[in-house]
C-alpha cells in the first residue's frame, strides 16, 4: 500500500474481532444481550431517580449522571461492533473513526472526574453528616456535574486533535473493534513521541488529580467508619462505600492500563480484553453493584413497575 497522509485517508478497517462465522454469530448474540441488559439497567435507574421525589438528593443526582455515562459509553462502540459481527462490515469512515474516538474519550474522562466528585460527596456525607446539606447543595452538585462534563469535553478535544493530525501509511487496519488511541497511533508512519508525551502528561495530571481526590476521600471515610460506635451505622456506611470503591477500582484499573502508557507497549489481544472490561462490562455492572443494591432505588423501581403495570392493564 502506498504511503498516504491524513488528507487522503478516507476510511479505516476494524479488524479486532473473529472472522469465523460461528464465532461471529455467538459473539453477536452475547454482546447484544449484554448491551440490551446495560441499557435496561441504566435506564431503569434513571427513571427511578427522576420519578421518585425521595431520590432527589445529591447522591442520586450523581448516580443519575453515572447511569447516563454508562448508557453513552457502550452505545459509542457496541452498535458498530454488532454490525461488523452480523454483516461483516468492518469499514468505518475517517470522520466516523474520529467522532467515535472523541466521544469515547469524552465519556471515559468525564466518568473518571465524576467518580472523584462522588467520592467527595460520600466523604462529606459520612464525615460531616450534620453539615452535609449545607456543604453539598444542589447548586454545587450542578456546578460539579457540569464541570466534569466540560473538562471531559476539552480533554477529549485535545486528544482527538493530536491523534488525527498525524500521518498514516502502510495500513488503515485498526487492530481493535473500535477506534481507540493506541491502535490508531500505531498506524502512524511519522513520529508520535511529542504527541504521546502531551497525551500522557495531560492524562497523567488529570487522572492522578482525580485519583488523589478519590483516595484521600476514602481514607477519611475509612477512618470515620472505624470510629463509629454503632455496628449498624458502620455496616451501612461500609456497604454504600464498598460499592462505590468497587466501581472506582474496576474503572480506574482498566482505563489506566489502556491509556496511561506509550503506544510502543500496545498489545492488541490484551488491550481488546481490557477495553471490553471498562467499555462493556463496567456499564453493565454499575447499576447492579452501585444502584440496584440500594434499597431506596429498588423501592423506587418497584413503584415505577407497579405504575406501568397499572397503566397497561387499564
Task: Tell which phi-psi region holds residue 92, choosing left (phi > 0), alpha (psi between -120 and 50) or beta.
Answer: beta
* Chain position carrying cell 439497567: 41
Domain ranges of the chain: 19-313
| Cα Rg, the chain, nearest whole Å | 21
Strands 173-174 and 91-93, bridge-based pairing: unpaired
Mean pLDDT of the chain: 83
Other beta carbons within 10 angstroms of residue 309's beta carbon come to: 10
* 3: pLDDT strictly greater than 60: no
Burial of 89 (0-12, 13-18, 19+ CB in 10 A): exposed
282-301: per-residue pLDDT in tens? 888 888 876 666 777 878 87
Is-contact 147 140, C-beta < 8 A? Answer: no
Is-contact 98 164, C-beta < 8 A? Answer: yes
CA angle 205, 208, 212 (to 5 degrees): 135
Confidence of residue 142 (pLDDT cuts 50, 70, 90): very high
Entry pTM: 0.86
* Chain position carrying cell 498525524: 166
Confidence of residue 308 (pLDDT cuts 50, 70, 90): confident
Rounded to the nearest 5°, which phi and psi values hold at 93? Answer: -65, 160
Rounded to the nearest 5°, which phi and psi values hold at 298? Answer: -65, -40
Q: Is the dihedral of CA 298, 300, 304, 306 positive or negative?
A: positive
Mean pLDDT, residues 207-213: 87
Is-contact 77 109, C-beta < 8 A? Answer: no
Residues 6+ apart with CB under 8 A from 65: 114, 145, 148
Mean pLDDT, residues 136-150: 93
pLDDT for 2 equals: 40
User: Superfamily assignment of 19-313 in CATH?
Assistant: Rhodopsin 7-helix transmembrane proteins (1.20.1070.10)
Mean pLDDT, residues 259-268: 62
227-239: per-residue pLDDT in tens? 877 777 777 777 7
pLDDT for 261 equals: 61
70-102: per-residue pLDDT in tens? 999 999 999 999 998 888 888 999 999 999 999
Mean pLDDT, residues 141-145: 94
Amino acid at each position: 500500500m502506498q504511503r498516504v497522509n491524513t488528507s487522503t485517508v478516507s476510511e479505516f478497517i476494524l479488524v479486532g474481532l473473529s472472522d469465523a462465522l460461528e464465532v461471529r454469530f455467538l459473539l453477536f448474540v452475547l454482546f447484544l444481550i449484554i448491551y440490551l441488559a446495560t441499557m435496561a439497567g441504566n435506564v431503569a435507574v434513571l427513571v427511578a431517580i427522576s420519578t421518585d421525589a425521595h431520590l432527589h438528593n445529591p447522591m442520586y443526582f450523581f448516580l443519575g449522571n453515572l447511569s447516563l455515562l454508562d448508557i453513552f459509553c457502550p452505545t459509542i462502540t457496541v452498535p458498530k461492533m454488532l454490525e461488523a459481527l452480523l454483516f461483516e462490515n468492518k469499514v468505518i469512515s475517517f470522520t466516523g473513526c474520529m467522532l467515535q474516538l472523541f466521544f469515547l474519550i469524552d465519556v471515559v474522562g468525564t466518568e473518571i472526574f465524576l467518580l472523584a466528585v462522588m467520592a467527595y460527596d460520600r466523604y462529606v456525607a459520612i464525615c460531616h453528616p450534620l453539615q452535609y446539606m449545607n456543604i453539598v447543595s444542589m447548586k454545587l452538585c450542578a456546578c460539579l456535574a457540569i464541570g466534569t462534563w466540560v473538562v471531559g469535553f476539552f480533554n477529549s478535544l485535545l486528544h482527538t486533535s493530536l491523534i488525527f493530525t498525524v500521518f498514516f501509511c502502510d495500513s488503515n487496519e485498526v487492530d481493535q473493534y473500535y477506534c481507540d488511541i493506541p491502535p490508531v497511533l500505531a498506524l502512524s508512519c511519522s513520529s508520535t513521541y511529542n504527541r504521546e508525551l502531551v497525551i500522557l502528561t495531560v492524562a497523567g495530571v488529570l487522572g492522578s488529580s482525580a485519583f488523589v481526590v478519590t483516595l484521600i476521600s476514602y481514607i477519611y471515610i475509612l477512618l470515620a467508619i472505624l470510629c463509629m460506635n454503632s455496628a449498624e451505622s458502620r455496616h451501612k456506611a461500609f456497604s454504600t462505600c464498598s460499592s462505590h470503591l468497587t466501581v472506582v477500582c474496576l474503572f480506574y484499573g482498566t482505563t489506566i492500563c489502556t491509556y496511561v502508557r506509550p503506544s510502543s507497549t500496545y498489545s492488541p489481544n490484551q488491550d481488546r480484553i481490557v477495553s471490553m472490561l471498562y467499555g462493556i462490562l463496567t456499564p453493565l455492572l454499575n447499576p447492579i453493584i452501585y444502584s440496584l443494591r440500594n434499597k431506596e432505588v429498588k423501592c423506587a423501581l418497584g413503584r415505577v413497575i407497579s405504575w406501568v403495570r397499572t397503566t397497561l392493564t387499564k
